[in-house]
Chain A
Amino acid sequence: MKRKVTVLGIESTAHTFGVGIATSEGEILANVNYVYTFEKGIHPREAAEHHSSVAHKAVKEALDKAGLSIHEIDAIAIALGPGLGPCLRIGATVARALSLYFNKPLVPVNHCVAHIEIARLTTGAEDPLVVYVSGGNTIVSAFVDGRYRVFGETLDIALGNCIDAFAREVGLPQPGVPNVEKMAERGSKYIPLPYVVKGQDLSFSGLLTMALRKVREGERLEDVCFSLIETAYSMLAEVAERALAHTKKKQLVLTGGVARSRRLQEMLREVAAEHGAEFHVVPPEYAGDNGAMIAWCGVLAYIHGVTIPVEESCIRQRWRLDEVDIPWRR
C-alpha cells in the first residue's frame, strides 16, 4: 500500500490568493481563498499588495481548517504561471519560504492544468474534452499523447475578459459575466453582432467593440447584453462541438471561472447530448481561481516525481497549457 501524501498548494496567478490542502486519496481538506476585488480592471501591483497582506493568514487558516500542522504536509505546490508577474511573485516567495524553512519539496504547477485536473477529480470524468473558460483563457483541450493539446482557443481576448470589459464600459458591476447575464435575462430582441469563428479558433474583440457601439447608438442595454451573451456562448459551443465531433471523446467538461454560467452550461449540455457524450461541470467552489486545485494538481505531480529546486523555481508568465508533460496520465 502506498503512503498517503498530503500537499499544500498556493494560487496567486491573478486576482485570488488561495491556499488549499489535498491528499493522494482525492480529499480536499482545505480551500481558503482571498479575492482582490476591483471595479476598474485588475491592477497587478495592487493585487500583489493585497496578496502579500493576506498570505500569512491564508496559510494558517488552511492548516487550521485541515486540522494539520505544517510538519504533516509532504510537499508545497505553487502555481508558477501563467499569470501576472507581480502576483505570481508573491505566491512563489511564500512557497519558497515554506519549502526552505520546513524542508519540504517544492512542486511546480501550471494554473491551466490545475483548472482541468480539479474538474476531473470533482466530476469523475476520466478522459473528457475540456472547455476551460475564464477571465484570461478560452481553451478547448483534450489529453492526447502525454499532454493536454489545444484544439481551439481565442485568437485575441478571452470570453470572460470580453464580457467583463463590456460590463466595465457600460457601468455594470464586477464580476462582469454574472451581472451582464442578469441584465440579459430582461432582454428579448436579438441584435446581430460579429460572430467570429475561424476553424477551431475564436475571436472576441470585434464582438466587444460592436456591442459597445450598439449601446452608444441607443439600443436597450438589456437587449445588447442578451445578444452579447448569446453570440459569445454560441461561438464557444460551436468550436466545442467541432472538437467533440473530431476527437470523438465521450465526456465534455466545463471548467474555469465562467463555468458557473447557467446559460453556458445549458448550451454545452445540448452539444454533448447531440454527440452522445456525458456533460459535467466543475462545482462552483472550484470554478474560479482557488488554492485547492493547485494542491490537488500538486499531489498528482508530486507522486509522479515532479519537483523543482527552489533556486530554479522562477515564475512563468506565459506558460502554455500544451507545454506541460502530464506523467500521471498515460
Chain B
Amino acid sequence: MKWISHGGGSVVILEVIAKGAEATLYKELWNDIVVVRKQRLPKKYRHPQLDNYIRRTRTVTEAKLMFEARKLGVPTPTIYDVDIDNCIIRMEYITGTRLREYMDDIIHSSKYEVLTKIFETLGIYAGRLHTNGIAHGDLTTSNVIVSDSTLVLIDFGLGTYAKDLESHGVDIHLLLRSLESTHYSIASICFKHFIKGYSREVGEEYANKVVERVHEIRARARYVEERIRKRDFI
C-alpha cells in the first residue's frame, strides 16, 4: 500500500466543514470530485519537532487504519490522497448526520427502535476492529456519521494497533463516557445494544472481560493508586 500525493491538479476549497481541536476540515473540489480535506495545521504551543512528529504520525495512522478498517468491512470514507509533508488527507465526502446529532433527533421523535439497531451495528464494528488488533482511540458519537442506513466511522488519528485488553477497554470506556455526557437518559440502553453487537464479534467471554475492565477503568481512584506507586519508587 502506498500513497503518493498527486500534487498539482486542480484544487478549489468550497467551504470549511469543521475546525476541530486537531485538524481543520474543508470541503474541496479536487480534480473535479468533491472531497473532504483533513489538514493538521501546526500548533504553535508545541515544540516544532514534536509537533511535526505528531501531525505526521497521526496523518499516516489515520489513513492506514481507515483503509484497513474498510478491508475488514467496517465502513470508513475512501481515501483518495495522503500528503504527508503537509499533513493532509483527502477522502470521500460522507453525506449524513453525526450520530451525536442524530440521537438528538431520535429523542425528539421517540423512535428509539432505530437506535437499538444502530448501536448493535456499532458494536459489531468495534468488535471487528478489536479482534483484528485495531483500537479506534477516540470512539465517540461525534466520530460516527449516519449516512442513509450505513454507519461510517471517522477520525482514526488516535488509533493504534492493539491487541490488549486495556486498549480495548479504553475504547469502550470512551464510547460510554461520550454517551453519558451527551445523552444521559438513553445511555445505558444504547450501551446494552452496543455490547450485544460487540459480543457477537468478539465472543461473550471476551466481551465480559472488556466490560469488567471498563468498570475498573472508571473506578480507578487515581489519587490513591498514585500514592502507592510513589512509595514503590523509594
Contact = CB atoms under 8 A, between A and B. Distances in A.
Contacts of A155: 170, 217, 220
A161 interface: yes
A42 B224 CA distance: 12
Contacts of A154: 222
Given A84-B227, A318-B224, A270 B45 contact: yes
B227 A201 contact: no
Contacts of B4: none
Contacts of B231: 41-43
Interface in B193-234: 217, 220-227, 229-234
A201 B45 contact: no
A222 interface: no
A199 B174 contact: yes
Given A41-B230, A165-B229, A169-B233, A82 B47 contact: no
Interface in B59-112: none
A127 interface: no
Contacts of A164: 230
Interface string A120-146: 000000000000000111000000000
Given A161-B230, A169-B233, A230-B47, A199 B137 contact: yes
B84 to A, nearest CB: 17
Given A198-B170, A199-B174, A238 B21 contact: yes
A28 interface: no
Interface in B126-170: 137-140, 158, 170
B141 to A, nearest CB: 12
Contacts of B20: 242, 245
B2 interface: no
Contact of B50 (A200, A234, A241): A234
B222 A41 contact: no
Contacts of B158: 197-199
Nearest to A151: B181
A241 to B, nearest CB: 5
A134 to B, nearest CB: 10
B45 A149 contact: no
A266 B223 contact: no
B10 interface: no
Given A136-B227, A158-B226, A161-B229, A82 B140 contact: no
Nearest to A267: B45
A230 B50 contact: yes
A67 B200 CA distance: 69
B165 to A, nearest CB: 13
19 contacts: A41-B234, A42-B230, A135-B226, A136-B223, A149-B181, A154-B222, A155-B170, A164-B230, A165-B229, A190-B47, A198-B170, A199-B138, A230-B46, A234-B54, A237-B45, A237-B46, A242-B20, A242-B21, A267-B46
Given A234-B45, A274-B44, 11 more contacts: A149-B181, A161-B230, A198-B158, A199-B137, A199-B139, A234-B50, A245-B20, A270-B45, A317-B223, A318-B221, A318-B223
